[in-house]
Amino acid sequence: MRVGFIGLGSQGAPMARRIVEGGYELTLWARRPASVEPYADTSAKVAATPAELGAASDLVCLCVVGDDDVRQVLDGESGVLAGMQPGGVIAIHSTVHPDTCREIAKTAAEHGVSVVDAPVSGGSPAASEGTLLVMVGGDDADVERVRPVFATFADPIVHLGPLGSGQVTKILNNLLFSANLGSAVSTLELGESLGVPRDKLCEVLARGSATSKAVNSISMFGGTLEGLAPIAGALLQKDVRHAAALADDASAPQGSVFTAADTALESMHHPR
């Protein structure tokens, strides 16, 4: 299978390297030439446009930031879909609204191209080690076809159901992570008011039964969300909005998880 990859950021870059080092014919495209320079020591080729990348690929992996970014690289005369041949597959690794995936799938079907949604979790270290978590939604045949490529950078690969279910799951994952951040910050603030130094309470929480990825992330930044905000603040805010929209559409109760998530987002914008 020939693979194209767009979105060579902190997470996408090691994913692409794992693919080419796994023996797959890889084509890259990026707006900035500097983004593809690190692959000069590999067999990866560089396309002049997304359409050229699409024409050279059976599977195109997208790891760009958001919904509009996905649409931009796919649509138009120079977009991926203009070049892809019937029978190809697009994998959306970006975290986007599930309706965006369904909308793209309808357009792609007009070109004879299938779509799977495959958001990831674990960050750059997990991608480099081949242990990313991939949450996949899509038809069984499409998922099994692309699974060997995903296996170069991911373990586990969890097929959750039809198209869009991977995005729903990733959004819920990020909602709970945000809520855990909010609960941890509230606990640290309470500890300070009770006379427990923030740094010492961080040390205990990171080693005790209350530990979590959220606690460890806060501990890395001195017990506040101020350092984490520039890295993940906007992305988590986007995903919490998506989660709220999904809950509203399903007439589902939002519950306390949203209250805790809002606490985290508020702390990122107005750290104490």
Confidence at 230, pLDDT banded by 50, 70, 90: confident
Confidence (pLDDT) at 174: 96
- Residue closest to 213 by CA, chosen among 112, 119, 122, 145: 122
Segment 114-125, tens digit of pLDDT: 999 999 999 999
Mean pLDDT is highest, among 61-75, 225-239, 254-268, for 61-75
Of 170, 200, 213, 238, the catalytic one is 170
Strand duo 26-29 + 3-6: pairing: parallel
| CATH class given for the domain over 3-162 | alpha beta
Radius of gyration of the chain (CA): 20
Element (H, E) at 174: helix 165-193
Contact criterion met (CB below 8 Å) for 42 and 26? yes
Inter-residue contact 130 to 185 (CB < 8 Å): no
More confident call, 270 vs 87: 87
* Residue 200 appears among annotated catalytic residues: no
3-class DSSP assignment, residue 70: helix
Q: Is the per-residue pLDDT at 64 higher than 80?
A: yes
Q: What is the CATH number of domain 168-269?
A: 1.10.1040.10
Report which secondary-structure segment, H or E, holds 111: none
Assess contact for 174 and 239: CB atoms under 8 A.
yes
Count, in order, helices (H) and strands (E) of the chain: 12, 9
Domain limits, the chain: 3-162, 168-269
Q: Structure tokens of 76? A: 């138009």
Model confidence at 259: pLDDT above 60 = yes
pLDDT tens per residue across span 138-172: 999 999 999 999 999 999 999 999 999 999 999 99
Which of these, 72, 258, 90, lies nearest to 175 by C-alpha position? 258
| Mean model confidence pLDDT for the chain | 95
In angstroms, the CA 90 to CA 64 distance is 13
